[in-house]
């Protein structure tokens, strides 16, 4: 087997780790749970919606780049784990090293590092869209917890809303917060 093929197989197994690593912030919220892979799916789906909203407004956006960036945004957590806001006060990690160690020697190496770097620098519209998608995915989960009775979720939502950087991200968030988490399926039932 070629070394490069082995590396690609290893990346698939590494990405599968994200299905088993729980996001740690929910312990502080007191309810809810989610693995990193589920969150990454939510970020990707939200980024698709948000980037389409930008396109409708006449903005040039690279949706393929956005979706790849969304998939990659928390990939390093397969190696580093998920540090929530409290953990980050006391711990640090070398995400760049984790990403380089994961992708070096693969045919994705250069593209993965460039996408990750662009996301972290948050200077491009694509990076800002993925950033807001990350925040909005959290808000969707928090809205569900709020609707189910968690009294702290509303405070978390207010904190998260402050992190949004695009007007369309704020607009989508307003729509999310105007609906009950289960309203969509009530409306389709006969």
Q: Is the pLDDT of residue 9 over 90?
A: yes
Give 119's Cβ-side CA count (13 Å radius): 27
Q: Is the pLDDT of residue 97 over 90?
A: yes
- The confidence score (pLDDT) of residue 55 equals 98
In the structure, what pLDDT confidence band is assigned to residue 1 with cuts at 50, 70 and 90?
confident
28-55: pLDDT as tens digits: 999 999 999 999 999 999 999 999 999 9
Q: What percent of the chain has pLDDT over 70?
A: 100
Q: Region 131-151: what's the mean pLDDT?
A: 98
- Which domains does the chain possess? 3-186 (1.10.3210.10)
Q: pTM of this prediction?
A: 0.95
47-85: pLDDT as tens digits: 999 999 999 999 999 999 999 999 999 999 999 999 998
- The confidence score (pLDDT) of residue 189 equals 86
- Distance from chain centroid for Cα 42: 7
Q: Region 122-141: what's the mean pLDDT?
A: 98
Beta-carbon contacts of residue 53 (< 8 Å; ≥ 6 apart) = 168, 171, 172
In the structure, what pLDDT confidence band is assigned to residue 169 with cuts at 50, 70 and 90?
very high
What string of DSSP letters covers 53-96? HHHHTT----HHHHHHHHHHTTTTHHHH----TTHHHH----HH
């Amino acid at each position: 087997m070629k070394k490069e093929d082995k590396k690609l197989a290893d990346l698939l197994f590494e990405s599968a780790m994200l299905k088993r690593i729980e996001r740690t912030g929910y312990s502080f919220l007191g309810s809810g749970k989610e693995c990193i892979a589920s969150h990454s799916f939510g970020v990707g789906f939200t980024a698709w919606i948000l980037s389409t909203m930008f396109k409708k407004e006449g903005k040039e956006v690279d949706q393929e780049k956005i979706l790849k960036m969304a998939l990659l945004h928390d990939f390093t957590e397969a190696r580093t784990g998920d540090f929530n806001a409290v953990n980050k006060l006391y711990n640090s990690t070398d995400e760049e090293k984790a990403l380089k160690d994961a992708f070096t020697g693969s045919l994705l190496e250069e593209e993965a590092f460039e996408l990750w770097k662009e996301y972290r620098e948050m200077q491009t519209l694509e990076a800002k869209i993925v950033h807001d998608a990350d925040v909005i995915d959290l808000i969707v989960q928090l809205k569900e917890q709020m609707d189910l009775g968690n009294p702290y979720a509303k405070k978390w939502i207010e904190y998260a809303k402050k992190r949004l950087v695009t007007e369309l991200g704020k607009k989508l968030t307003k729509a999310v917060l105007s609906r009950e988490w289960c309203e969509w399926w009530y409306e389709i039932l006969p």
